[in-house]
Structure 1
């Protein structure tokens, strides 16, 4: 006869309420860890997906993701002439506010160096990559744009030719892909008042070509892919010798994002997760200890009739792990229901779930020790009290 099961049936409502409480704490823990994993995945999406070996950015800076960067739009020609370089592409990315469907929307405009990069590496849910050098967009579904829709960016109208899924930047803004030339034109937009004031501040006529407010044609970075068997350090040293740029590898870009830009976020999420686990430990400990206190008379009776200590220990431990397993199962089920509809990406990695389950098991084992410790102090004579 399983004494733990008998006691659970007798206190069924309390056990269910405890399992629900623990389950919601598990759901919150999964959400916190998954949210961090999702932010990391979103931040690294472009770095990993675009497939560049080296990033040539502004000298003295660690851009374009960790901080701002600006290099000449002709920098790609200089880089292409370095021995060991296989291909080069220009990179532009910035946040842009625009209007569509009568609503103000925000997206991270990302330039693709057409025709070398048409966006074939993107995760499409509908449509196709770019096929024209101008006036086409590939947008993430989170921007709210629809396939075939026309939206005005800067001074021109652009048509949505492709939709992606789950492609956002570290801030959660959906990625909007256009050609580098279009991205620079959109960024160069100025209001009529700005242009008039600029011209009034200059002596003589100022034409559109030499308008000082025109964008100077700079881009954020140049991406380089190496030839097979090329020495990455030799290539890097050659480019750094120019003195006006910095060169970062893909691994260094990842490190800058994870250990600098997202470091505080990681600490905050881990701190909140630790608090949730502590609360979970307190809840399970109190419930197990309370149930043990209520059964002191029955425990004394068991000892009086000759029951071994392992029977009592097994009863309390089984109850603690039943709460933990039930709470984890309920929490995991809730997570799969709630988080797919979450506004940010929540990654529920199997390794993280396994570690969380191990943490819950340790918490249940530790909580059970409090009840077991109290039960072991009960004497058979106390049945008469």
Structure 2
């Protein structure tokens, strides 16, 4: 006879509410872990997909994903002449706010070197990739833009010709892809007041271009992406470029490490800290529930001992109750997670390995909770049934 199952059937409403209470705590844990995975996946999206062996960035800088970076306009041509280099592409990325349909929206403008970059690392869900011309854009669906929409960026009108899904930056803003020349114009465009300040700074009385900037920066190219020949010596090519002095050379692995362990380190640490806190609360709640259930059945436990039931029968009943609560809560948590997490504004990634680890941790929590209940039940004497 499964005494734990009989007890659950005796008070099904209370058992269901108890399981759902545990389920919501576990849902929070699953959400925090999924959010952590989503933040990491979003942050590494461009780095992992853009297919670059080396990143040539501004000298003594860590690259565009860690800090501001701007390389000279001719760096791509210089890099292309290095033996072992298969092809080079210019790259730029910056945040931009723009007005569309009467609302201010935000996107991360990403300049790609068309036609050298054919966009094969992107997954389009509608439309096409950028052509060789200008004033076209490919937007992620999270921006709210659709095929055929026209948006104004830096006084120029861009037509949306393609859509992606899931292409966002580390902050969750959708990516807006334009050709590199358009990205440079958008980044360099300045207000009229800044143009006047630039004139004053340079002592010019003539007409200033709308692209003139008071910032002493001759290029808005953040990095040059390098693909190497299969037979090339990576270390030799990297050393040859690094000798120039005005640039730094990073591998994809180094860019990934800088993003995770520099820019996102505090955010990742905070998410993991909250996850551990919720797990601790879950352990306390499950232990308290099992202990309370044990206290409520002290008379029945004493009666079992009076009729000759062994300690392992009582221990098995308490352990089974803890397992039922944990198992029911875990299944309910997965169901709730599948329903609500797709509605969240940030990506929540549920990996089977994470769910398996959480199930293992929950099993440990239930075992500890059962031990607390068993320890109390072991002190019950058979004669207490008469009291």
> TM over 0.5, yes or no?
yes
Please report how far the alpha carbon of residue 188 of structure 1 lies from its aligned counterpart in structure 2 after TM superposition: 1.6
1:115 and 1:133 in contact (8 A); partners too:
no
Give SS of 1:90's match. strand
| Aligned equivalent of 2:262 | 260
| Aligned equivalent of 1:177 | 177
Distance 1:177 1:92 in 2: 10
Distance 2:60 2:37 in 1: 30
Query: Cα gap change, 1:150/1:211 in structure 2, threshold over 3 Å: closer, same or farther?
Result: closer
Instruction: Say whether 1:290 aligns with 2:292.
Output: yes
Q: What number of residue pairs does the alignment pair up?
A: 385
Q: TM-score under structure 1 normalisation?
A: 0.96
Query: Cα gap change, 1:275/1:149 in structure 2, threshold over 3 Å: closer, same or farther?
Result: same
Q: Return 257-266 or 203-212, whichever deviates more.
A: 203-212
Distance 1:382 1:105 in 2: 70
Superposed CA deviations along residues 61-90 of structure 1, whole A, max 9, x for unmatched, are: 111101111101210111111111111111
Superposed CA deviations along residues 84-106 of structure 1, whole A, max 9, x for unmatched, are: 11111111000001111111011
Superposed CA deviations along residues 125-171 of structure 1, whole A, max 9, x for unmatched, are: 21111113301100001111111111111121110000110111001
What pairs with 1:1-385 in structure 2 (closer than 5 Å)? 1-199=1-199, 202-208=203-209, 211=212, 213=214, 216-385=218-387
Distance 1:19 1:209 in 2: 64
Distance 1:107 1:362 in 2: 44
Q: Which stretches in structure 2 are left out of the alignment for 5+ residues?
A: none
Give SS of 1:98's match. strand
Distance 2:100 2:211 in 1: 32
Please report how far the alpha carbon of residue 213 of structure 1 lies from its aligned counterpart in structure 2 after TM superposition: 4.8
Distance 1:198 1:70 in 2: 20
Distance 1:169 1:318 in 2: 46
Superposed CA deviations along residues 276-323 of structure 1, whole A, max 9, x for unmatched, are: 111111111111111111111111111111112221111100100100
Give SS of 1:67's match. coil
Please report how far the alpha carbon of residue 329 of structure 1 lies from its aligned counterpart in structure 2 after TM superposition: 0.7
Please report how far the alpha carbon of residue 204 of structure 1 lies from its aligned counterpart in structure 2 after TM superposition: 3.7
1:73 and 1:90 in contact (8 A); partners too:
no
Please report how far the alpha carbon of residue 196 of structure 1 lies from its aligned counterpart in structure 2 after TM superposition: 3.9
2:93 and 2:108 in contact (8 A); partners too:
yes
Please report how far the alpha carbon of residue 209 of structure 1 lies from its aligned counterpart in structure 2 after TM superposition: 9.3
Q: Return 206-215 or 360-369, whichever deviates more.
A: 206-215
Query: Cα gap change, 1:253/1:317 in structure 2, threshold over 3 Å: closer, same or farther?
Result: same
Give SS of 1:281's match. helix
Q: Which stretches in structure 1 are left out of the alignment for 5+ residues?
A: none
Give SS of 1:130's match. coil
1:118 and 1:131 in contact (8 A); partners too:
no
Distance 1:44 1:159 in 2: 28
Please report how far the alpha carbon of residue 6 of structure 1 lies from its aligned counterpart in structure 2 after TM superposition: 1.1
Give SS of 1:278's match. helix
